[in-house]
C-alpha cells in the first residue's frame, strides 16, 4: 500500500512539473531533434555519399575541420503582442518559423536554438550574393508589435548579446542587418524606431550622416547603388523603403540629396572592405 501511495505521489509531482512549465514537452522535442541531427553529423562521409559516385575502396577522413559558424546577424521585431505569444509561435511545428534568440520587453533573453544550428527566421531573401541567410546567420527577435518604440531594457540586453556574438564568431561590422534589408518586398522589421545608429557607434553595423559634398557617382542610378550595397532591387521602391527605414530612419519613398550621400558612403565602405 505504501508503495502504491508513493507511486501516485510521484505521478502527481510529474504532472505538476509538466503543467507548471508549458514548454517542457517542446523542450523534449528539441532534444530529440538535436540528437537526430547529431547522428547525421557523426556519419562518416563514405556513408553519406550517393551510390553512383566512384568512391575509393577505403575512406580517408581529414583531421582538419570544425563546425560552420554564423557570419551574419539578422535583427527582427516580432510583430506580435507579447513575448509569450512569440515563444508559443516558435514552439508550434505548424508555424515553420523560429529564431536563435528572443528578447522580451523587460530585457529577458530566451536562447531558443544553438547558434550553430539553422533557424527559420529569414525566409526567402538575399543580401548581395548571399541568397540563403538562414544558413549563415543568427536570428534575433525583439518583442515589439512593429509600431512602438523599443524598450531600453531590450536594447541593453541586445547590445550585450551582440558583443558576445561578434567576439565569439568574429562577425564583420557590416554584417549586422535587419530583416527588411534581406527581404524588402516582404518585411519591414525592425521598424524605424530601432536605434541602428546606437548599434553602429558600438561596432554592430555601419552608419553615415548626410554630407552635402558627397553625391552618387555620375551615371550610377539609385537602383544600381542599392544593389551595390546589398539590396535586392527587383522592386526598386521596396528597396528604397528598406534602405531609408534602416539608414535614414524615414518612411518616405522619395530620395533626396542627403539620402544619396549616405548611399554613396555605404557603397564606398562596401568597396573598401
Tens digits of per-residue pLDDT, 143-196? 999 999 999 999 999 999 999 999 999 999 999 999 999 999 999 999 999 999
In the predicted structure, residue 5 carries a pLDDT above the cut 50: no
Residue 211 has a pLDDT of 97
Q: How many CB atoms lie within 10 A of CB 181?
A: 26
Counting Cβ atoms within 10 Å, is residue 102 exposed (0-12), middle (13-18) or buried (19+)? buried
Domain boundaries defined on the chain: 68-207, 208-273
Cell of 143: 518583442
- Contact between 108 and 83 (Cβ < 8 Å): yes
> What are the angstrom distances between the C-alpha of 29 and each of 9, 209, 214?
26, 48, 55
For residues 24, 26, 27, 31, the Cα torsion angle rounded to the nearest 10 degrees is 140
More confident residue, 31 or 59: 31
- Contact between 223 and 184 (Cβ < 8 Å): no
- 55 pLDDT band (50/70/90 cuts)? confident
Cell of 248: 535614414
Listed in sequence order, the DSSP H helices in the chain are: 2-20, 24-42, 83-89, 152-169, 179-182, 196-201, 222-229, 236-247, 257-272
Give pLDDT tens digits for 89-126.
999 999 999 999 999 999 999 999 999 999 999 999 99
| Identified catalytic residue from 93, 141, 151, 232 | 141
Residue 61 has a pLDDT of 83
- pTM of the predicted structure, to 2 decimals: 0.90
Q: Given the C-alpha cell 553512383, which residue does it identify? A: 52
d(CA 78, CA 133): 18
Q: Given the C-alpha cell 540629396, which residue does it identify? A: 257
Residue 12 has a pLDDT of 47
Residue 14 has a pLDDT of 54
Q: Is 141 a catalytic residue?
A: yes
**What residues does 77 pair with on adjacent strands?**
142
Kindly give the pairing relationship between strand 137-142 and strand 109-111. unpaired
More confident residue, 171 or 62: 171
CATH of domain 68-207: 3.40.80.10
Say whether the peptide bond before residue 190 is cis (omega within 30 degrees of 0): yes
Cell of 185: 518586398
Rounded to the nearest angstrom, the gap between the alpha carbon of residue 114 and the centroid of all alpha carbons in its chain is 13
Average pLDDT over residues 230-234: 97
Q: How many CB atoms lie within 10 A of CB 195?
A: 16
Residue 57 has a pLDDT of 83
* Least trusted range by pLDDT, from 62-66, 162-166, 245-249: 62-66
Write phi, then psi, for 234 (nearest 5 degrees). -60, -35
Amino acid at each position: 500500500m505504501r508503495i502504491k501511495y508513493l507511486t501516485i505521489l510521484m505521478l502527481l509531482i510529474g504532472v505538476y512539473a509538466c503543467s507548471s512549465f508549458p514548454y517542457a514537452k517542446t523542450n523534449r522535442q528539441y532534444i530529440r531533434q538535436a540528437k537526430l541531427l547529431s547522428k547525421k553529423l557523426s556519419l562518416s562521409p563514405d556513408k553519406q555519399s550517393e551510390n553512383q559516385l566512384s568512391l575509393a575502396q577505403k575512406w580517408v577522413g581529414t583531421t582538419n575541420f570544425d563546425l560552420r559558424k554564423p557570419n551574419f546577424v539578422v535583427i527582427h521585431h516580432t510583430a506580435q503582442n507579447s513575448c509569450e505569444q512569440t515563444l508559443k509561435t516558435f514552439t508550434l511545428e505548424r508555424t515553420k518559423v523560429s529564431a536563435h534568440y528572443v528578447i522580451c520587453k523587460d530585457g529577458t533573453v530566451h536562447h531558443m536554438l544553438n547558434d550553430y544550428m539553422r533557424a527559420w527566421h529569414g525566409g526567402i531573401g538575399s543580401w548581395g550574393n548571399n541568397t540563403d541567410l538562414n544558413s549563415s546567420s543568427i536570428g534575433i527577435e525583439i518583442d515589439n508589435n512593429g509600431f512602438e518604440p523599443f524598450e531600453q531594457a531590450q536594447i541593453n540586453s541586445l547590445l550585450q548579446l551582440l558583443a558576445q556574438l561578434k567576439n565569439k564568431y568574429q562577425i564583420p561590422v557590416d554584417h549586422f542587418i535587419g530583416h527588411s534589408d534581406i527581404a524588402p518586398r516582404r518585411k519591414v522589421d525592425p521598424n524605424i524606431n530601432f536605434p541602428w545608429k546606437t548599434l553602429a557607434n558600438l561596432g554592430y553595423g555601419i552608419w553615415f550622416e548626410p554630407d552635402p559634398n558627397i553625391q552618387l557617382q555620375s551615371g550610377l542610378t539609385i537602383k544600381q547603388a542599392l544593389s551595390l550595397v546589398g539590396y535586392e532591387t527587383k522592386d526598386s521602391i521596396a528597396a528604397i523603403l528598406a534602405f531609408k527605414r534602416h539608414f535614414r530612419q524615414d518612411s518616405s519613398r522619395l530620395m533626396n540629396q542627403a539620402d544619396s550621400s549616405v548611399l554613396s558612403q555605404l557603397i564606398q565602405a562596401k568597396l573598401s572592405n
